[in-house]
Amino acid sequence: MGSRLYVGNLTYSVTNEQLKELFSTYGEVSQVNIIEGKGFGFVEMSTTDEANKAKEALNGTDFSGRTLRVDEAKPPKSRDERGCCGYGRSGGGGRRF
């Protein structure tokens, strides 16, 4: 497991500082990045052990009235893996009038 964690089911009013304070109980927080308007973010801990402790302690707990989902952050998918526009790899067929 890496030291970067995905944190989901956040209220939109939660700040980076609040999330940093919450996770700092379990170790040194290197970076916090909340994705604005999406209800999730990422927390990077200094070590893998600290990230494991934070994940085990905080996953499924209440924070600001929401049940947190904490998991290991996965690397972003490349464009080829994501596909485009709901059409997958086959393209999209062009414009429709």
Which tens digit of pLDDT belongs to each residue from 12-28?
999 999 999 999 999 99
pTM for this predicted structure? 0.78
**Helices first, then strands: H and E counts in the chain:** 3, 6
All domains in the chain, ordered by first residue: 4-82 (3.30.70.330)
Which tens digit of pLDDT belongs to each residue from 57-91?
999 999 999 999 999 999 888 777 666 565 555 55
Which run of H or of E encompasses 43? Answer: strand 40-45
77: Cβ–Cβ under 8 A, 6 or more apart, which residues? none
